[in-house]
Amino acid sequence: MKSWALASYFVVPALVYTANGIQNHGGHSSTASELLQFFIPNYLFFAAPLAAWAVLSKALKLSTSVSHAGYMGATLALISLFTLFECCVDNSNAMGWLYYWPFAIVLAVSCAIYKQHSTRHPK
């Protein structure tokens, strides 16, 4: 897999954290020092399913297309939950993010299985 493609998947969690941190929370906006102070733990939380998929796809020697499908599934989980929490559901206590890792794992594996199956059995 090209390194720029892999790096682009790992940029998405940073963008989600930054977009979430820039918005007003509780009537005050986050400062730059607050954003940097909490960046590393939050980035690691958001990027963990992608890192787990990277290790798994390398260990199982998955094809590039199947590996991309897994990354897209994990990224889709992150973006969909972020959009859901920003637009539709009150997540003021952040408990909704507990669904992220299981949702990312299910979507990554489902997308990879679908891609593997569609590659082996074209219509």
pLDDT tens column, 22-76: 664 555 566 677 767 878 888 899 999 999 999 999 999 999 999 999 999 999 9
Distances (CA, A) of 108 to 5, 54, 70, 85, 119: 16, 11, 4, 21, 16
> Rounded to whole angstroms, how far apart are CA atoms 108 and 62?
13
Domain that holds residue 12: 3-120
- Which residues, at least 6 apart from 42, have a Cβ–Cβ distance to it below 8 Å? 17
Predicted local distance difference test score (pLDDT) of residue 16: 85
Total domains in the fold of the chain? 1
Work out the percent of the chain whose per-residue pLDDT is above 90: 42
